[in-house]
Amino acid sequence: MKALIYDGQLKLARRYPRPDPPPGEALVRVHLAGICNTDLEITKGYMGFQGVLGHEFVGIVEECAATELVGQRVVGEINAACGECTYCRAGLPTHCANRTVLGIVRRDGAFAEYLTLPMRNLHVVPDNLPDEVAVFTEPLAAALEILEQVHLPPTSRVAVLGDGKLGLLVAQALSLTGCELTALGHHPQKLAILQERGLPTLLADDAPGIKADVVVECTGRPEGLAMARQMVVPRGTIVLKSTFQGSADVALSPLVVDEVTIVGSRCGPFAPALRLLERGLVAVEPLIAAIYPLSEGLAAFEHARTPGTLKVLLRVT
C-alpha cells in the first residue's frame, strides 16, 4: 500500500506492508486524514516516532470480528490500551502504561491506505456528516476534554491563546458554555473565522492587560506558557494543550505565590464531538486550507508547515 512515513526523513513509500489486524482490532481503509501540528513536531524529533504518521482520520471498516462494523464509516480514538494495567483498571485507558498511539507511539498511523485500531476505539460516523467534517472529530474531542477537566461556569472569564487549528476549535467548544470568552492570536484572517461565529477576538499584541480566570494555551510554542502566566489571575487555571519538540522556561515561584493551577489536557471524548459536528454547533470547514492526494503528501506537509496555514487534509482513497 502507499503510505507517508517518517524514519528520520519524511518520504512516500509506495509498497509499504499492509497491516494485518490482530484479534480485537479492525482493518480500516482510510478515506481522509488531517495533518496536525503533532505530525509536524514528530518530523522535528518529537516522541522519537518512526513509521506511518497521522492520527486524525475517517475511513471504512473492511475487516473485523464484529460484523456489524464491517462497511461502516468510522473515526477512531488514537490510544490503544492494554485493558489490564493499573491505569486501565482505574478507568484511565488514555494513560495506559502499555498503550500504543496511532501515528505517535509504536503504532502506524493514518497517512496510509489502511490502518488498524481496536474495535472499541471506533465510532460510527452519522450518514449526514461529510468526510471533510468528520475528520475533525479527534481534534474537537481534544478541545472538549477541557470541559471534562475544568469546571467552567458561565460567569468564567476565559482566554484562548493561539489561533491555529486547535485554538479555533477550543474557542468554539468552550463558548457553548456561555462563558465570557476571548480568543487571542496573531492572524486577523484566522480570528475572522471566530468573529463570524459572534465570538470576541483580539490580536495578542493589542491585549497586554487582559486577565482571565482560565487561560487555555494552544499556541504550539514554548513561550505560550509564559504568555498564559501573564494573563491568569491568582487562583486561576492554565490549561496546556500544546505538544512540541523542546522545553518551555517559566518561573515556578510566582505560580506558587498566586496559587495557580496548571492542567495538562490531551485526548477527549468522541461521542459528544460527533454530536456537535452533526448539529453544526462547531464550524470546521472554514479551517480547511487545502486537500492533497496522498501521492502528494510531501507537498502537503510543506504547505502545512507554512506559517499561517490552517488544516491541510490528505485524500487517501
* pLDDT per position as a tens digit, 178-216: 999 999 999 999 999 999 999 999 998 887 789 999 999
Mean pLDDT value of segment 305-314: 95
% the chain with pLDDT above 70: 100
Angle at 55 between CA 279 and CA 16, to 5 degrees: 135
Give the Cα separation of 308 and 253 in Å (integer).
34
- Kindly list the domain boundaries of the chain, sorted by start residue: 3-136+284-315, 140-264
Q: Are 1 and 12 in contact (CB under 8 A)?
A: no
**pLDDT confidence band for 222 (50 / 70 / 90):** confident
> Which of 105-109, 243-247, 286-290, 300-304 shows the lowest mean pLDDT across its residues?
243-247
118-142 residue pLDDT tens = 999 999 999 999 999 999 999 999 9
Average pLDDT estimate for 43-63: 96
**Cα distance between residue 165 and residue 308, in whole Å:** 10
206 φ/ψ sector (left φ>0, alpha ψ -120 to 50, else beta): alpha
- Between CA 53 and CA 7 the distance in angstroms is 10
Q: Give tens-digit pLDDT for 64-97.
A: 999 999 999 999 999 999 999 999 999 999 999 9
Fold that domain 140-264 belongs to in CATH: Rossmann fold (3.40.50)
In the predicted model, what is the mean pLDDT of residues 152-158?
96
- In the predicted structure, residue 51 carries a pLDDT above the cut 90: yes
The CATH superfamily of 3-136+284-315 is Medium-chain alcohol dehydrogenases, catalytic domain (3.90.180.10)
Average pLDDT over every residue of 138-160? 97
Helix boundaries (H) for 150-187:
165-175
The CA distance from 282 to 234, in Å, is: 31
* 245 has pLDDT over 80: no
Residue 150, φ and ψ in degrees, nearest 5: -125, 130
User: Do the beta carbons of residue 166 and residue 314 sit within 8 Å?
Assistant: no
